[in-house]
Amino acid sequence: MVEFQIADVNRRMDGALEALRREFTGLRTGRASTHLLDTIVVKAYGSDMPLIQVATVSAPEPRLITVQVWDRSLVGAVEKSIRDSGLGLNPNSDGQLVRLPIPELSQERRAEISKIAHKFTEQARIAVRNVRRDGMEHLKRLEKDGKMSEDEHRQKSDEVQKLTDLHIKKVDDLLAQKEKEIMQV
């Protein structure tokens, strides 16, 4: 009876990919995307709340994001949170509607964002490799404890390595896609 599940290794590696996708949604590309504001937290009602819990975010035009704040008293807090987020956006409010014009990205800003994308990608690669290491250590323990034969260990190790290679390739593909998006003028 083998206690090693390749599906668990796959699930954990998929989790690293999903985390990378979430990180990439917060990177500005010069085009309006409602996901750009996903990471913004607003000080509201005495606590920190995600922006989407105090407002509706939409992108009516390719170069504009609108934030419809539900409570008029929170408009200033929403503006401050957006301004302080480091996204380089300058909010303009009109009553409860906050407009965020998306400025053109300079070439050097595109390069900075690309470096950030590379940093996120490297973190995802490290996460995938850590899952691989954990899987391999688990396999070694099973073989050492006599719960798995040497041939079975080698076969499962090959499966884990193939999964690792596949996930690293997916990470690299996500980076290439995001870089293309960032560099698009």
pLDDT in tens, 86-108: 777 889 988 889 998 887 778 88
CATH architecture of 31-101: 2-Layer Sandwich (3.30)
* pTM of model > 0.75: no
Predicted confidence (pLDDT) at residue 139 exceeds the cutoff of 60: yes
Strand 55-61 to 47-50 pairing: unpaired
Distance of CA 72 to the CA centre of its chain: 31
E strand segments, the chain: 41-44, 47-50, 55-61, 64-69, 92-94, 97-101
- How many CA atoms lie less than 13 Å away from 155 in the CB half-sphere? 8
CATH superfamily of 7-24+106-183: Ribosome-recycling factor (1.10.132.20)
Q: Are 7-24+106-183 and 31-101 in the same CATH fold?
A: no
Q: What is the per-residue pLDDT across 140-151, written as a single tens digit (0 to 9) for each?
A: 999 998 888 899
Burial 150-177 (b: 16+ CB within 10 A, else e): eeebeebbebbeebbeebbebbeebbee
Domain spans of the chain, in order of start: 7-24+106-183, 31-101
Say which amino acid occupies 21: R
